[in-house]
Structure 1
Amino acid sequence: MKNFKKVELHCHVEGAAPPHLTLSQAEKYGVDHSTFIRDGAYVWEDFTSFIACYDHVASVFRTAEDYAALTEAYLLELAAANTIYSELFISPDHGEAVGMDPVDYIDGLAAGITAARDKTGIECRMIIIGERHLGPENVLRRAEWTAKLDHPLVTGFNMAGEERMNRVADYARAFDIVREAGYGITIHAGELCGAFSVADALDLVRPSRIGHGVRAIEDPDLVRRLADLGTVLEVCPGSNISLKVFPDFESHPLRAFVDAGVRVTLNSDDPPFFHTSLQREYDIASDIMGFSDEEIDRMTRTALEAAFVDEETRSRLLARL
């Protein structure tokens, strides 16, 4: 699948940091990395320890320059795999946690995006994340901040983090605020929690896309509803297997969603944490899951159709397919 044009809609920027870069950053700031990097790999056991490891990794990126280097490194990796468009999930809360002004955080990311585009032509946009486990008030504060932000590369809003905490209803107002401000809406749902989480997202948030959403397979009526609505699932098979949402690729429901007419895309989520890459996700879909070249191309086209970009950029990207 190396020569296939690729698109990614679901990747967390700190979660894309290669371990060697994180190691170098930790040494730069004198941070003991023995608890979260071992033998060149990130150390975690379950979702809770994964979140803790992620926070450790994020903590060694502390300046706009650090984030520019991280973003450029990941986008150059994507471009080398023939990726033409990427959306990165970014969390100003991680910037604030190390004392960064959120605008500086975004400016650093934007500098990395611009550098990668100048070198390779890859387009990228940023999606602001509200961290669910920081509580409804924090996500509401982040939504209000986002609504006032005017940055050409920030085009969407999302909520990620510990899905088992609180209810979707607790966060609905935040999504209303960013929708009214004109941002694209996606939300993590149906990963750690069951089909009800996806149904709640559809009822209360009304997103055009859902991050993961794979547990919807537990409710055939909900699968039909997703197909009827045209809601796009940002599916991350490698992540799902690593986090034991499903035991193996053979039991993953991606094929069942496609057969049911649900619109899906391929993504890597937090690639080095899950020993994957966008290239590998395309290879898994082809070699293990048995999707045809035409079906995989359709997923890529779906990703561009669902991307949070202006119509002129979308048309230009679609033409590149």
Structure 2
Amino acid sequence: MDGLPKVELHLHLEGAAPPAFIAGLAKEKHLDIAGVFDERGNYRYKDFWDFLKVYEAATSALQSPRDYQRLVLAVLEESAKSGVVYCETFVSPDFCGGRDVGAWKEYLHAMQEAADEAERDLGVTLRGIITCIRHFGPEKARETARCAAETAGSWIVGFGIAGDEKIGVPKDFRWSFDCAREAGLRLTAHAGEWGGPESVRDAVHDLGVERIGHGVRAIEDLALVDELAETGIVLEVCPGSNVTLGIYKTFRDHPIAELDRRGVKVTISTDDPPFFHTTMAREYDELHKAFDWDEGQFRRIARQSLDAAFCDADTKARIGKLLEA
């Protein structure tokens, strides 16, 4: 399945940073973050909450727009190897300029330049979804939403929320989502990973999102599954992430196939690929082995993913031709 063109909708930019890239940046800046790596040079963490700490520690090596420009190129080089032709990545002004609009615009310009270079040289189209960080609280989320509203456009196409699902509830962030919606941004939210099916229902009802990041715990409430299918809410499913973090024991135990069978629009993504030792190619391979999905199934899901993408119609039409190859 390596040769199939792929669409990825759920990728954290900093979380996709190759560990060697982060280690190299830290060395350049004389930062001691050796504790985030194991003896093989991979990221080291114990559980999801430790993962969040390691993620933020690794991100501390990214300190300038130039660093993020280099990061985008490093990440998209990896995406291209798996055949990704379109990707949406989560970026946050919390890590890029401290939620100051002026500083954020400098970071954004650098990322866009790198994305343009990668599209020309690697054939991967990238768009950004600004995310607030749930465990940083609603007030900081408002600042992030203002950054999003100020830079909404052809490259920044969406707004969402990530972080610790066990802190606060979706309605705490309603103002930020309303702000982003009024600026013309499309909406997604992480839910149904650690918070259970009720977190999915709350994100849909209280924030008015059209996509859910993960959302797989919805399978525990079949009435919710029916609602998702009927309303067309799209799930940004990251099977390898869920298995590595222990939400499901194996790919065969993962509910993506059952959700798909019940009519829910599922997509396939990697989340934070080097943290979870995965790639888009590996996700396809594991799903093929677990559920005997064939090329036709993967092409259907890629098309479904593009339909759910937040980019403009012209971009969708161009990427659609690549999916038909």
Secondary structure of the 2:212 match is strand
**One-letter amino acid matched to 1:15:** G
TM-score normalized with structure 1 length: 0.97
Per-residue CA deviation, residues 71-105 of structure 1 (Å, 9 max, x unaligned), is: 11111221222211011100110123599921222
Q: Map residues 128-207 of structure 1 onto 2, 5 A cutoff.
A: 128-207=130-209
Structure 1: how far apart are the matches of 2:205 and 2:61?
Answer: 38
**Which residue, out of 245, 248, 251, partners 1:249?**
251
**Residues 215-226 of structure 1: pairs in structure 2 closer than 5 A:** 215-226=217-228
Q: CA RMSD in A?
A: 1.5
Distance 1:145 1:113 in 2: 20
Tell me if structure 2 keeps the 8 A contact 1:95–1:105: yes
Report how far residue 66 of structure 1 moved: 1.1
Query: 1: CA distance between counterparts of 2:251 and 2:75?
Result: 25
DSSP-derived class of the 2:12 partner: coil
1:73 is aligned with what amino acid?
Answer: A
* Displacement over 6 Å in runs of 4+: none
| C-alpha distance in 2 between matches for 1:54 and 1:25 | 15
**1:69 Cα offset (Å):** 1.0
Cα distance in 2, alignment partners of residues 26 and 148 from structure 1? 31
In structure 1, the residue matched to 2:10 is 10
Alpha-carbon displacement from aligned partner over 1:243-280 (angstroms, at most 9, x marks no partner): 11112212110111011010011000000000111111
How many residue pairs match? The answer is: 321
State which drifts further: 84-93 or 29-38: 29-38
Name 1:293's counterpart in structure 2. Answer: 295
- Counterpart CA distance in 2 for 1:222 and 1:196 is 9
**Structure 2 unaligned regions, length at least 5:** none
TM-score, with length taken from structure 2 = 0.96
Match of 1:210 in 2: 212
Give me the whole-angstrom Cα distance separating, in 2, the residues matched to 1:283 and 1:106. 34
Deviations 1:53-81, CA, capped at 9 Å, x for gaps: 00011110111111111111111221222
2:165/2:195 contact within 8 Å kept = yes
- Residue matched to 1:27: 27
User: Bigger shift: 207-216 or 91-100?
Assistant: 91-100
Alpha carbons 1:132, 1:160 under 8 Å: kept: yes
Is structure 2 residue 98 aligned with structure 1 residue 86? no
Q: Which residue in 2 is equivalent to 1:57?
A: 58
Q: What stretches of structure 1 of length at least 5 have no aligned partner?
A: none
Determine which of 273, 276, 279 is the counterpart of 1:277: 279
Distance in 2, matches of 1:166 and 1:78, equals 33
Give the match for residue 270 of structure 2: 268
Q: Which residue pairs with 1:320 in the alignment?
A: 322
For residues 140 and 95 of structure 1, what CA distance do their matches in structure 2 show? 15
2:251/2:287 contact within 8 Å kept: no
Cα offset for 1:151?
4.5
